[in-house]
Structure 1
Amino acid sequence: MIVHDTPLNSYYASTSWIINITIRKDNWALTKTIQSLSFCTIPNDGFFEGIELIVTSSTTPSNGDKVVIHYYGRLAAKQGWRFDSTYDHKDQNGEPLPFEFVLGSGKVISGIESAVRSMKVGGIRRVVIPPSQGYQNTSQQPIPPNFFDRQRLFTTIFNPTRLANGEGSTLIFDIELVSLRRRRKL
């Protein structure tokens, strides 16, 4: 799936896609088919759009909160090549390790921070992140732990020819907000 300047809702409406998402938790999997898409506009320095795959009525995080997410990251420029997924990172018991970060810290690409900021705990959202909201340097998280995946990601995103032509790499992330821990008030 490659999305350039077409708004996400126009893109999906014109292709009449059906999205299948598989949610894995505690040794069980639920496959949900989503035919009626719920779009959201995500404010940032520029706006970008997302699709609400699962919406809950829980709380949303604020800057300074520690958030825990699962994600599945793909590059639109490589025909949807999956460069990383928290479900591939396992602890000593073989359980998937979620990704944790402090919202607003600036250590994570801004597109993920913006998407998570308006999510509710338990919600799942697919976002198409434009290059301006994606990786700006090789220290921004999340970074694939596998050397070859990391090299392929960065050589695609920071390819001098692509950058000279004004092209960047659009990222596609499925994000689940697993939990949050409120920052302590002083």
Structure 2
Amino acid sequence: MRPEVPASDAPAPTELVVEDVVVGDGAEATEGAAAQVKYVGGFYESGEEFDASWDRGEDETLPVTLGAGQVIPGFEQGIEGMQVGGRRVVTIPSELGYGDQARGPIPAGSTLVFVLDLVSVD
């Protein structure tokens, strides 16, 4: 089921925050592993969504090779240690996101929240 990004009125964290919603019982995502994830990304303060793999189809996943630098550092670090079947809320400070660069709908300096589902690990 498609998750929603929670909004928060608490001060934005300055370090990566990882919260397991569901702990998976499958293979663990470790450095070098090819993970397939489903995600919803939103803004920390409002919860407003800016991107979601779910928009491209319920079976659509994003391939991420951990340690390869294919995605922002906080996204990659948020996957590490997850087990297949797990869902995690990852809050990413701008330093581990896009920093002082604006990217599409994401303003510079944004704190981002992703809800990640780990579908598979190879």
Name the TM-score class by shorter chain.
0.7 to 0.9
- Residue 4 of structure 1: aligned partner: 11
Matched positions, count:
114
- Residue 175 of structure 1: aligned partner: 116
2:27 equivalent to 1:59: yes
4+ residue stretches of structure 1 with deviation over 3 A?
Answer: none
% identical aligned pairs:
31
* Aligned pairs (5 A) from 1:18-167: 47-77=15-45, 79-90=46-57, 95-136=58-99, 151-153=104-106, 156-157=107-108
Q: Deviations over 1:83-126 (max 9, x none)?
A: 01111013xxxx43111121110121111111111111110001
Q: Which runs of 5+ in 2 are unaligned?
A: 1-6
Check whether the contact 1:88–1:96 (CA below 8 A) recurs between aligned residues: no
Question: Which structure: larger Rg?
Answer: 1
Letter in 1 for 2:113: I
Secondary structure (helix, strand or coil) at the match of 1:70 reads: strand
Structure with more relative contact order (C-alpha pairs < 8 Å, separation 6 or more): 2
Secondary structure (helix, strand or coil) at the match of 1:122 reads: coil
Secondary structure (helix, strand or coil) at the match of 1:179 reads: strand
Check whether the contact 2:35–2:66 (CA below 8 A) recurs between aligned residues: yes
Once residues 170 and 5 of structure 1 are traced to their aligned partners in structure 2, the CA distance between those partners, rounded to angstroms, is 7
Secondary structure (helix, strand or coil) at the match of 1:113 reads: helix
CA RMSD of aligned residues (A): 2.1
Secondary structure (helix, strand or coil) at the match of 1:57 reads: coil
Q: Which runs of 5+ in 1 are unaligned?
A: 7-45, 139-149, 158-167, 182-186
Once residues 129 and 174 of structure 1 are traced to their aligned partners in structure 2, the CA distance between those partners, rounded to angstroms, is 11
Q: Go from structure 1 to structure 2 and tell me whether the alpha carbon gap of 1:5 and 1:76 turns closer, same or farther (over 3 Å shift).
A: closer
Q: Deviations over 1:102-156 (max 9, x none)?
A: 1110121111111111111110001111111112457xxxxxxxxxxx6322xx1
Q: Go from structure 1 to structure 2 and tell me whether the alpha carbon gap of 1:5 and 1:87 turns closer, same or farther (over 3 Å shift).
A: closer
Task: Select the structure that is richer in helix.
Answer: 1
Check whether the contact 2:12–2:44 (CA below 8 A) recurs between aligned residues: no
